[in-house]
Homo-oligomer: A and B are copies of this chain.
């Protein structure tokens, strides 16, 4: 996989790596993709990055700090992708449906990041940036929801219903409820989009 998490910045300094921080993040992401969020260890991450187990501590306070940074990047990627998907239409109902489909898509092709953001088991209180980044993703839904429902309470209902439904379909897909993972992605996206529309149009 080896996703680009930032710009590697043409190794400017140091002795060996130049950009160990990003190398560690990428290695950790690969590790989570292979063994799941609970299989993540700092020691194995170090090995994959080709450094000693002591090296990471110059870049992250501890194991959880690295994981929290990964989760934060996950929320940022989500925000970027969902915003792009929603920009395809001006119809608020269509925007919410596009969000649901994009959510499922993200869970599928960035499974590790998706798992970390939700099943990372991080203490959100200890990492305030995290809750903030997560809220920012959910906030994407507020504008189209407000256009569909003038009443603020009803708008909040829509935000949460669409968000919960999208998350449920994504979780089902990840858990293999649909069966074959490859062919089921499209059907999961279609279903998530349709469910979001149903949640929305009955209020129109």
Using CB atoms and an 8 Å cutoff, list the residues of chain A in contact with chain B. 36-38, 118-119, 121, 124, 138, 157, 160-161, 163-169, 171-172, 175-177, 191-192, 194-195, 198-199, 201-203
Residues of B within 8 A of A169 (CB): 160, 164, 168
**6 cross-chain pairs, A with B, having the tightest CB-CB distances, nearest first:** A164-B168, A168-B168, A167-B168, A38-B38, A161-B195, A164-B169
Instruction: List 11 A-B pairs, Cβ < 8 Å.
Output: A38-B121, A118-B171, A157-B191, A160-B177, A161-B198, A164-B172, A165-B168, A167-B171, A168-B171, A199-B199, A201-B202
Main secondary structure of the interface of A (DSSP, over half): helix
5 further A-B contacts with Cβ under 8 Å, apart from A38-B121, A164-B165, A198-B202, are A157-B195, A163-B168, A167-B167, A171-B171, A201-B202
Known: A38-B38, A124-B176. A161 touches B167 (CB 8 A): no
Copies of this chain in its oligomeric complex: 2
Known: A160-B172, A171-B171, A176-B124. A165 touches B195 (CB 8 A): yes
Known: A124-B176, A202-B202. A165 touches B163 (CB 8 A): no
Cα of A192 to Cα of B138 in the assembled complex, Å: 17
**Most B C-beta atoms less than 10 A away, residue of A119, A138, A165, A168:** A168
- Min C-beta distance of A42 to chain B, whole Å: 15
Contact of A161 among B38, B165, B175 (CB under 8 A): B165
- Min C-beta distance of A74 to chain B, whole Å: 14
Cα of A203 to Cα of B118 in the assembled complex, Å: 32
Residues of B within 8 A of A166 (CB): 168
Contact B36 A121 (CB under 8 A): yes
Known: A199-B199, A201-B202. A167 touches B176 (CB 8 A): no
Cα of A167 to Cα of B168 in the assembled complex, Å: 5
- Min C-beta distance of A34 to chain B, whole Å: 13
